[in-house]
């Protein structure tokens, strides 16, 4: 189990993701802590297949792969959207619903079609982010964050990525796709998991 001080100002951290949207969000989250982020892509690390059956298993397999290949502490994540009326689908398959080209217009259309076919009036949904921090000595820790809200149709907004244009967080009228990206970052599932990670593993004076 990783402890307080595992991360500190000047720590190097490999972000085990090839998703530009996520790299941007993690970069913004980590910048104030003085952590030196390196993307898996810039180290030439391959993108592992998400073969796990849970968000946690997938986050861990990405971070373990990157930590082992680089010899540097690695942050892996898995995330997605869960739709209550669809028994939490697409869940761990959120990225895959975009097909090989990760076309999220396609994924949002499928989500909308399945929701209409379900006959349910319930539009409750949540994004979930699971973060796994893995050290080269194999110590590790896992953190989960969620943001609840509703899905809306048609999609609205050009900001963000993935399912952002159809997700309206609780207490707001704008979709994540319409919000200022910094505003979204402040309340996102990733931020919520990230705050736990910082609380548990970051020490200013280590
Ligand atoms: P993965 O974590 O790389 O497997 O990808 C998860 C997928 O969930 C992404 O490709 C997006 O489609 C979706 N997703 C995760 N987080 C967000 C978010 O903050 N906004 C919109 N879509 C998201």
* Burial degree of 16 (CB within 10 A; 0-12, 13-18, 19+): buried
CB-ligand 1 contact for 95 (6 Å cutoff): yes
Please tell me the distance from the alpha carbon of residue 26 to that of residue 143, in angstroms, as a whole number.
14
CB-ligand 1 contact for 175 (6 Å cutoff): no
CB-ligand 1 contact for 201 (6 Å cutoff): no
| Contact criterion met (CB below 8 Å) for 141 and 161 | no
- Nearest atom (ligand 1) to Cα of 97: 12
* pLDDT confidence of residue 205: 66
What tokens appear for 14 in the block? 């490999």
**For the chain, what is the total number of helices (H) and then of strands (E)?**
5, 7
Tell me the backbone φ, ψ of residue 5, rounded to 5 degrees: 100, -10
| Contact criterion met (CB below 8 Å) for 156 and 138 | no
Å from CA of 205 to ligand 1 middle: 34
CB-ligand 1 contact for 94 (6 Å cutoff): yes
Please tell me the distance from the alpha carbon of residue 130 to that of residue 152, in angstroms, as a whole number.
24
Contacts of 31 (CB under 8 A, 6+ apart): none
Q: Which of 190, 136, 145 lies closest to 164 in space, CA to CA?
A: 190
CB-ligand 1 contact for 24 (6 Å cutoff): no
Å from CA of 204 to ligand 1 middle: 30
* pLDDT confidence of residue 25: 78
Q: Whose CA is nearest to atom 14 of ligand 1?
A: 80
Q: Decide: pTM greater than 0.75.
A: yes
Q: Which entry of 78, 87, 103, 109 is annotated as an active-site residue?
A: 78
**What letter does residue 96 receive in the DSSP assignment?**
G
* pLDDT confidence of residue 80: 96
| Contact criterion met (CB below 8 Å) for 143 and 1 | no
One digit per residue, the tens of pLDDT, for the chain of length 206 reads: 888 889 999 999 999 988 877 788 788 888 899 998 999 999 999 888 889 999 999 999 999 999 999 999 999 999 999 999 999 999 999 999 999 998 999 999 999 999 999 999 999 999 999 999 999 999 999 999 999 999 999 999 999 889 999 999 999 999 999 999 889 989 999 999 999 999 999 997 65
Is 78 an annotated catalytic residue?
yes
Q: Which of 188, 54, 149, 166 lies closest to 111 in space, CA to CA?
A: 166
Q: Whose CA is nearest to atom 5 of ligand 1?
A: 95
Tell me the backbone φ, ψ of residue 146, rounded to 5 degrees: -135, 150
What tokens appear for 142 in the block? 């896992």
Describe the crossing of helices 189-201 and 20-30 by its angle, rounded to 10 degrees. Answer: 40
What tokens appear for 206 in the block? 């280590």
* pLDDT confidence of residue 182: 87
């Amino acid at each position: 189990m990783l402890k307080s001080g595992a991360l500190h100002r000047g720590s190097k951290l490999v972000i085990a993701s090839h998703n530009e949207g996520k790299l941007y969000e993690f970069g913004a989250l980590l910048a104030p802590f003085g952590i030196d982020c390196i993307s898996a892509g810039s180290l030439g690390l391959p993108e592992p297949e998400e073969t796990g059956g849970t968000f946690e298993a997938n986050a861990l397999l990405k971070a373990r792969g990157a930590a082992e290949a680089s010899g540097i502490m690695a942050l892996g994540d898995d995330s997605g959207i869960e739709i209550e009326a669809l028994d939490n689908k697409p869940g761990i398959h959120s990225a895959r619903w975009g097909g090989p080209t990760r076309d999220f217009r396609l994924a949002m259309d499928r989500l909308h079609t399945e929701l209409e076919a379900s006959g349910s009036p319930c539009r409750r949904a949540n994004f979930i982010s699971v973060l796994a921090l893995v050290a080269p000595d194999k110590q590790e820790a896992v953190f989960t964050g969620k943001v609840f809200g509703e899905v809306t149709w048609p999609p609205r907004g050009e900001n963000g990525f993935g399912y952002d244009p159809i997700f309206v967080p609780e207490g707001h009228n704008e979709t994540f796709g319409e919000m200022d990206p910094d505003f979204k970052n402040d309340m996102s599932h990733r931020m919520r998991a990230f705050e736990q990670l910082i609380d548990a593993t970051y020490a200013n004076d280590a």
